[in-house]
Amino acid sequence: MNAELRRLEQNLGYVFDAPELLEQSLTHRSAGAVNNERLEFLGDALIGLLIAEVLWEYFPDADEGTLSRMRASLVKRETLAALARELNLGDYLRLGAGELRTGGYARDSILADGLEAVLAAVYLDAGFEAARAVVLTLFAERLEATSTTHSGKDPKTRLQELLQAHKRPLPEYSVTAIDGSQHNQRFIVRCQLVDMQFHTFGDGSSRRRAEQSAAAAMLEHLI
């Protein structure tokens, strides 16, 4: 194994007994017939199971819907791609000429798939517990943030605290529509992050409830 892949192992906190597994996990289908597509399939299921297990342990009072939403926010493509960037995974991917020309090493989909494949390679190399240890290390900060944002505080408070912790401006809420009769109104509220072009919507029987719904949607995006 070359020195570059040794650095990746250091970033992962795991050393492969079968380095060919790591090499395959980093090989995109554009680079050859022996590639990481099957490993991506296995890694996707593996990460979903491991994160589900951790959430089940961390949040014994959470219902199925809450656990599903938390898992979805942690295993979505954007989160996996962000983790891959923290590992500088794009520097190690083996891509075909076409993908190299179009910047495939920086694309969310390729990075996320690559991370799934690498974690599957760890599983095949050393088993479930080894893969679990790597996943828990990689997701540690995000799992901690998930724990904080599900501590019983309402969504608006949690969103405010999260933004303040990162020294970001507070969100702006605005009513975009009011539907229904006077005694059965439905409020639609937009939650806008003023430091970026992104917003979410929420609805409720009062403006306050709609704001909480919009804040909850924003939290799911940020975490």
Question: One digit per residue, pLDDT tens: the chain, 223 residues?
Answer: 577 889 899 989 999 999 999 999 999 989 888 899 999 999 999 999 999 999 998 888 778 888 888 898 899 999 999 999 999 999 999 988 887 787 777 889 999 999 999 999 999 999 999 999 999 999 988 887 776 455 556 788 888 988 998 889 999 999 999 988 766 788 999 999 988 889 999 988 888 888 988 998 898 888 7
Q: Which residue of the set 23, 99, 116, 211 is catalytic?
A: 116
Are 220 and 69 contacting, i.e. CB atoms less than 8 angstroms apart?
yes
In this prediction, residue 183 carries a pLDDT of: 67
**Alpha-carbon span 1 to 172, nearest angstrom:** 52
Q: Count CB atoms within 10 A of the CB of residue 79.
A: 20
In this prediction, residue 89 carries a pLDDT of: 93
In this prediction, residue 60 carries a pLDDT of: 80
Q: Which residue of the set 23, 40, 44, 113 is catalytic?
A: 44
Residue 17 CB partners (closer than 8 Å, separation 6+): 125, 126
In this prediction, residue 61 carries a pLDDT of: 77
Residue 23 appears among annotated catalytic residues: no
**Alpha-carbon span 135 to 118, nearest angstrom:** 11
Instruction: HSE, CB side, 13 Å, CA atoms: give it for residue 119.
Output: 34
In this prediction, residue 149 carries a pLDDT of: 55
In this prediction, residue 150 carries a pLDDT of: 58
In this prediction, residue 25 carries a pLDDT of: 96
Are 41 and 24 contacting, i.e. CB atoms less than 8 angstroms apart?
no
* Partners of residue 192 on adjacent β-strands: 172, 199
In this prediction, residue 113 carries a pLDDT of: 94
Residue 44 appears among annotated catalytic residues: yes
In this prediction, residue 220 carries a pLDDT of: 83
